[in-house]
Amino acid sequence: MRFTVLEAFEAGIVLKGFEVKSLRDGKVSLEEGVVRIDRGEAFLMNVHIPPYKHISHNVEYEPTRTRKLLMHREQINKISAQAQAKGLALFPLELYFKNGRAKVAVGMGKGKKAQDQREDIKKRDAEREIRRI
């Protein structure tokens, strides 16, 4: 992960019907995803949800389109103020279903330096080696 997560939030996400089916197939990529707050609304950008493969008709579809996040106004204002004051980034951590509704975990954190990333890689490799033995 390129960020150190300081705090996490849960948000609903506005999706089209066939996007939900594609999510249930587990075909989503959050790698380039980012959360932006604009005019008091939160948006999920650059998250790749491929078109559902069993759709029966042609649909004009943009896999990385901007999707609106559903959060309470007070929560959006609080997150926005914290992120701007401390210079933090907002990014998606995971997409999941809760009570039949698609949810996204939004993380707030700082970017890692290259050295921190190398240390995390070393720790991961060491843990993998221990498990292998």
Cβ proximity of 106 and 45 under 8 Å: no
Name the CATH superfamily for 3-132: Small protein B (2.40.280.10)
Of 26, 24, 46, 34, nearest to 3 by C-alpha is 34
pLDDT bucket at 24, cuts 50 / 70 / 90:
confident
Q: Where are the domains of the chain?
A: 3-132
Q: What pTM, to 2 d.p., does this model score?
A: 0.74
The residue assigned the tokens 């990333």 is 117
Tokens (6 digits) for 130:
């221990």
> Can you give the pLDDT at residue 82?
86
69-107 confidence digits (pLDDT tens): 999 999 999 999 988 888 888 999 999 999 989 999 998
As a whole number, the mean pLDDT across the chain is 85
The predicted structure's pLDDT at residue 68: 94
Q: What is the pLDDT of residue 110?
A: 79
Query: How many CB atoms sit inside 10 A of residue 49's CB?
Result: 25
Q: What is the pLDDT of residues 9-18, one digit of tens each?
A: 999 999 888 8
